[in-house]
Amino acid sequence: MRIIYLGDLVGRAGRKIVAEKLPEIQEKLKPDAIIVNGENAAAGFGITEKIAKELFDIGVHVISTGNHIWDQKDTKRYINTEPRMIRPINFPEGTPGKGSTIFEDTRGRRLLVINVMGRVFMDPLDDPFKAVDDELKKYRLGSTINFILVDIHAEATSEKMAMGQYLDGRASLVVGTHSHIPTADAQIFDGGTAYQTDAGMCGDYNSVIGMDKVEPINRFLKKLRGDRFSPALGDGTLCGVFVETDDKTGLAKRIEPIRMGARLHETFPQI
């Protein structure tokens, strides 16, 4: 099975580069599923129903999110009606939406996507390790489920790596989001789980993690809030990972980064 995972979409630049490059990715890599983190898609803060539908229309199968999930007012309503958009599974019980979803590819293979948020330097949610554990107990990789992806939306690289190692052999892919910078540690762990600490973002890298440079720099220099953060609007770069798994076990055979666009060094898997 071939899976494409794209890191945080940030604003218009992120949406544009994904819309431009996804047809080429689909043609060359022929993925069975495409998953995208969309929590910054709406002007850098949250995601709207309109944007989610646009992503589904161009071939995205699941949208994961993170700490900005509630920044747009209509999300609480929409997420209860759209099983393809999920929020971190370790939000307290009763929070709108769900933290995981299952869907089938064109060959009837079942894919489970779990979204979880870290707690180090983040909001104090429920234990992310227990939340993922409880969800995975319901399924068996390579039997009841053919592919399991865990998006850990977290600040600390140590927490992301600990999650990846903890789930080694129980997930097909554990990938980090939130930091917006692609890490150079794409690998397959000893138990067969593919891993990358952060997939990077889809957005304008001539920025401060996707935001127009002026206000973030001002806050670092003066420790004062001035204008609201706004996403950078230059040419975007798409960042993500390509994973190929064994259909019998659900474990990874290959993981490679994808970078396409204006600023970062481009890399693209060869099939």
Q: What's the rounded Cα separation, in Å, for the pair 151 and 167?
A: 12
Are the C-beta atoms of 183 and 206 separated by less than 8 Å? no
Tokens linked to 94: 């009763």
210-251 confidence digits (pLDDT tens): 999 999 999 999 988 878 899 999 999 999 999 999 999 999
pLDDT confidence band for 24 (50 / 70 / 90): very high
Q: What's the rounded Cα separation, in Å, for the pair 146 and 61?
A: 16
Closest listed residue to residue 203, CA positions, set 27, 24, 6: 6
**Mean pLDDT in the chain?**
96
Residue 271 covered by a domain: no
How wide is the angle at C-alpha 168 spanned by C-alphas 133 and 90, nearest 5°? 30
At 228 the pLDDT is 87
Answer whether residue 105 shows pLDDT above 90: yes
Residue 267 covered by a domain: no
At 139 the pLDDT is 96
Residue 268 covered by a domain: no
pLDDT (mean) for 1-14: 98
Residue 152 covered by a domain: yes
Which percentage of the chain shows pLDDT scores above 70?
Answer: 100
First-to-last C-alpha distance (Å) of the chain: 13
Residue 269 covered by a domain: no
At 250 the pLDDT is 98
3-state class (DSSP) for residue 133:
helix
Residue 22 covered by a domain: yes
Residues spanned by the domain of 122: 2-261
At 223 the pLDDT is 83
pTM across the whole model = 0.96
Q: Which residues pair with residue 79 across a beta bridge?
A: none
Pick the catalytic residue: 68, 153, 178, 180?
Answer: 68
At 263 the pLDDT is 93
pLDDT (mean) for 177-202: 98
Long-range contacts, stretch 52-60, CB < 8 angstroms, 24+ apart: 52/78, 52/82, 52/84, 52/85, 54/15, 54/19, 55/9, 55/15, 55/18, 56/84, 58/18, 58/19, 58/22, 59/22, 59/26, 59/34, 60/34, 60/35, 60/36
pLDDT (mean) for 48-74: 97
At 125 the pLDDT is 96
pLDDT (mean) for 86-94: 97
Which percentage of the chain shows pLDDT scores above 90?
Answer: 96
CATH number at residue 192: 3.60.21.10
Under 8 Å CB-to-CB from 119, ≥6 apart: which residues? 125, 127, 128, 154, 159
Closest listed residue to residue 211, CA positions, set 186, 231, 241: 231
Tokens linked to 75: 């999300």
pLDDT confidence band for 203 (50 / 70 / 90): very high
Whether residue 153 lies in the annotated active site: no
140-159 confidence digits (pLDDT tens): 999 999 999 999 999 999 99
pLDDT confidence band for 8 (50 / 70 / 90): very high
At 47 the pLDDT is 98
Are the C-beta atoms of 38 and 232 separated by less than 8 Å? no
Q: Tell the burial category of 177 from Cβ atoms under 10 Å away from its Cβ (0-12, 13-18, 19+).
A: buried
Answer whether residue 29 shows pLDDT above 80: yes
At 262 the pLDDT is 83
At 102 the pLDDT is 98
Backbone angles phi, psi at 75, to 5 degrees: -65, -40
What is the count of structural domains for the chain? 1
